[in-house]
């Protein structure tokens, strides 16, 4: 594609004859004929790698206006917001996306909502997929991704490939990092959903207001003005978000427990799930949902709202929910102890998520609720004692262990968590913590292992060591079964 077409979309530019065969923001991936995007970062500045990109054959550089290009015949595409421009350029370069796209933001629930929406679409005759924490998933396609919300080049390449493969409906997780860094700016988004907001990622955003504003960008700048916003009616910022949406001309639909256009009127725990009574835009439905916990029900109803907002018949959408399959690492029952106690794995790694998790699973414990968890290193330190307090408040037995300590001292992290829960038991090794928790289970207990969910590794220093909470839990239960027999 001509550089002039990428820059202006109309071919009018002094660089009319320059052909661009690829785009990247990684100088190591540059090939002859590429446009290199020299993006500013929190730790690295892409402009420091311009020489390397030129050595690899870049014929144009996208960067801030004051950027010096050290060689002739290399064009500077100057923009005061090069991240936004890269997203727009990537959209023009790849030129296609599925017909209907929904984006889901919020502190918790993004992965489940996106996946559930894809399941409902698929069950009602659409060819659907989702992109997020678990990678790219669509019929015949499964690919891991480095970021929850991929960089614009990877994202638009994936969108074009999905469209060519026949995918017509897609749900994308919109992380606060991805929104702040304009990764979604070139996507035509028809529906945006906001699930929840609580403390997270302050190591990046600095202040809670910045974190909220990053998520608000989905509605204030990214989503189409004729789009539909799906908002949790219990969101404390509901009025602010809904006002922003309406001022831009967007339709607003709400969901939640005992309120909203998609309302959960009643819920009752059942074995391995729950019975729900729903009000869907004035119509009543009874549903046997094969998912555990209030927040799982809310996530499923958010996905229902997305499906209905994109044209799915409400009755057919509700019917399909009885066959929803849980997401790996999201309140996933992974084992049952010989005494009958169930063991769950969940990704909860924020205060709000941990509180929701323990509240959701408590009704299923006729005896004790046991939790194993830790906090990640090189991340928001302020949430550590808060999560300790929450565990102490809702669980009967608390074991604090390591969870991706990264470059921090694991013992120091554990001490900060235990400052909020003086009755917690400290077990340094996560595998040993899981074994200890499992060995102590009695009839009627429920064990929840929180924090890592679907993750397949433990990050210690610069190493990623193989580790799977579900696998460890099954092994621990198998040991107990061997002891019993």
Residue 33's CATH number: 3.40.1390.10
For residues 32 and 81, state if they share a domain: yes
User: How many whole angstroms separate alpha carbon 302 and alpha carbon 113?
Assistant: 6
Which residue blocks in 99-228 are alpha helix, DSSP H?
110-123, 152-164, 176-180, 202-205, 208-217
Query: Is residue 300 in a domain?
Result: yes
Query: Is residue 326 in a domain?
Result: no
For residues 71 and 112, state if they share a domain: no
* pTM attached to this predicted model: 0.85
Quickly list DSSP for 372-413: EE---TTS-TTHHHHHHHHHHHH-SEEEE--S--BTS-HHHH
Query: Is residue 327 in a domain?
Result: no
For residues 291 and 405, state if they share a domain: no
- Enclosing H/E stretch for 430: helix 430-439
For residues 285 and 243, state if they share a domain: yes
Query: Is residue 193 in a domain?
Result: yes
For residues 150 and 207, state if they share a domain: yes
β 22-24/34-37 pair status? parallel
The domain boundary residue, chosen from 92, 118, 150: 92
For residues 110 and 150, state if they share a domain: yes
User: How many whole angstroms separate alpha carbon 384 and alpha carbon 416?
Assistant: 6
What residue numbers bound the domain in which 478 lies? 332-484
How many Cβ atoms from other residues are within 10 Å of residue 366's Cβ? 11
For residues 317 and 348, state if they share a domain: no
Domain CATH for 144: 3.40.1190.10
Can you give the pLDDT at residue 393? 97
Considering Cα of 358, then 362, then 365, then 367, what sign does the dihedral take? positive
Q: Which residue has the tokens 């299923």?
A: 364
For residues 179 and 83, state if they share a domain: no
User: How many whole angstroms separate alpha carbon 386 and alpha carbon 420?
Assistant: 6
Domain CATH for 368: 3.90.190.20
For residues 346 and 441, state if they share a domain: yes
Nearest to 447 by CA among 345, 363, 352, 298: 345
| 206 φ/ψ sector (left φ>0, alpha ψ -120 to 50, else beta) | left
- Enclosing H/E stretch for 459: strand 457-460
Angle at CA of residue 71, ends 65 and 76, nearest 5°? 30
Number of separate domains in the chain:
3
Which residue blocks in 138-250 are alpha helix, DSSP H?
152-164, 176-180, 202-205, 208-217, 238-247
Kindly list the distances between the CA atom of residue 268 and the CA atoms of 264, 277, 291, 317, in Å, as whole numbers in the listed order.
11, 9, 12, 21
Query: Which two three-digit tokens encode residue 25?
Result: 């923001």
Query: Is residue 376 in a domain?
Result: yes
Can you give the pLDDT at residue 271? 85
User: How many whole angstroms separate alpha carbon 99 and alpha carbon 95?
Assistant: 12
The domain boundary residue, chosen from 34, 62, 92: 92
Task: Mention every residue, 6+ apart, whose C-beta is less than 8 A from residue 335.
Answer: 342, 343, 470, 473, 474, 476, 477
Nearest to 184 by CA among 104, 244, 72: 104
For residues 47 and 118, state if they share a domain: no
β 75-78/60-63 pair status? parallel
User: How many whole angstroms separate alpha carbon 68 and alpha carbon 283?
Assistant: 62
Query: Is residue 380 in a domain?
Result: yes
For residues 211 and 283, state if they share a domain: yes
Q: Which residue has the tokens 């001022």?
A: 247
Q: Where in 226-313 does DSSP place strands (E)?
A: 228-232, 251-257, 262-270, 273-280, 283-289
Query: Which two three-digit tokens encode residue 420?
Result: 């909020």
Can you give the pLDDT at residue 485? 36
Q: pLDDT per residue over 58-85, tens digit each?
A: 999 999 999 999 888 899 999 999 999 9
For residues 71 and 141, state if they share a domain: no
Residues (pLDDT < 50) of the chain are 10-12, 485
Tell me the HSE value of 318 on the side-chain side, using a 13 A CA sphere. Answer: 18
Can you give the pLDDT at residue 200? 62
Query: Is residue 267 in a domain?
Result: yes
Q: pLDDT per residue over 442-453, tens digit each?
A: 999 999 999 999
Query: Which two three-digit tokens encode residue 443?
Result: 């009839």
Query: Is residue 175 in a domain?
Result: yes
């Amino acid at each position: 594609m001509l550089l002039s077409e990428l820059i202006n979309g109309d071919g009018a530019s002094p660089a009319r004859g320059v052909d661009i065969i690829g785009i990247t923001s990684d100088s190591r991936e540059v090939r002859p004929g590429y446009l290199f995007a020299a993006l500013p970062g929190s730790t690295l500045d892409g402009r420091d790698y311009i020489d390397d990109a030129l050595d690899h054959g870049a014929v144009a550089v996208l960067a801030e206006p004051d950027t010096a290009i050290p060689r002739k015949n290399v064009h500077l595409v100057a923009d005061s917001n090069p991240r936004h421009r890269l997203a727009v350029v990537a959209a023009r370069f790849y030129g296609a996306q599925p017909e209907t796209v929904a984006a889901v933001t919020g502190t918790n629930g993004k992965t489940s909502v996106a996946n559930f929406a894809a399941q409902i679409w698929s069950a009602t005759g659409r060819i659907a997929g989702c992109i997020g924490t678990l990678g790219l998933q669509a019929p015949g396609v499964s690919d891991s991704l480095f970021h929850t919300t991929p960089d614009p080049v990877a994202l638009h390449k994936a969108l074009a490939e999905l469209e060519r493969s026949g995918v017509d409906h897609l749900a994308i997780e919109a992380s606060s990092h991805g929104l702040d860094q304009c990764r979604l700016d070139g996507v035509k988004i028809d529906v945006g959903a906001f699930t929840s907001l609580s403390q997270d990622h302050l190591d990046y955003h600095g202040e809670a207001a910045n974190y909220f504003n990053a998520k608000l960008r989905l509605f204030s700048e990214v989503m189409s003005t004729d789009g539909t916003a799906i908002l949790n009616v219990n969101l404390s910022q509901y009025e602010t978000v809904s006002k922003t949406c309406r001022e831009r001309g967007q339709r607003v639909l709400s969901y939640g427990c005992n309120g909203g256009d998609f309302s959960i009127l009643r819920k009752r725990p059942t074995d391995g799930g729950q019975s729900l009574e729903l009000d869907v835009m004035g119509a009543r439905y009874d549903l046997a949902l094969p998912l555990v916990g209030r927040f799982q029900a809310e996530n499923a109803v958010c996905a229902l709202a997305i499906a209905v907002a994109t044209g799915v018949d409400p009755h057919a959408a509700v019917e399909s929910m009885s066959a929803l399959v849980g997401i790996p690492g999201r309140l996933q029952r992974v084992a049952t102890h010989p005494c009958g106690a169930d063991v769950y794995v969940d990704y909860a790694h924020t205060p709000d998520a941990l509180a929701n998790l323990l509240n959701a699973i408590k009704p299923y414990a006729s005896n004790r609720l046991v939790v194993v968890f830790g906090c990640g290193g090189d991340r928001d330190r302020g949430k550590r004692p808060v999560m300790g307090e929450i565990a102490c408040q809702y669980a009967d037995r608390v074991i604090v262990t390591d969870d991706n300590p990264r470059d921090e001292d694991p013992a120091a992290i554990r001490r900060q968590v235990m400052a909020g829960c003086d009755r917690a038991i400290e077990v340094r090794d996560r595998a040993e913590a899981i074994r200890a928790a499992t060995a102590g289970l009695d009839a009627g207990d429920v064990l929840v292992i929180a924090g890592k969910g679907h993750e397949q590794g433990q990050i210690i220093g610069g190493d990623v060591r193989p580790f799977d909470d579900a696998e460890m839990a099954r092994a621990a239960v198998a040991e107990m079964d061997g002891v019993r027999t």
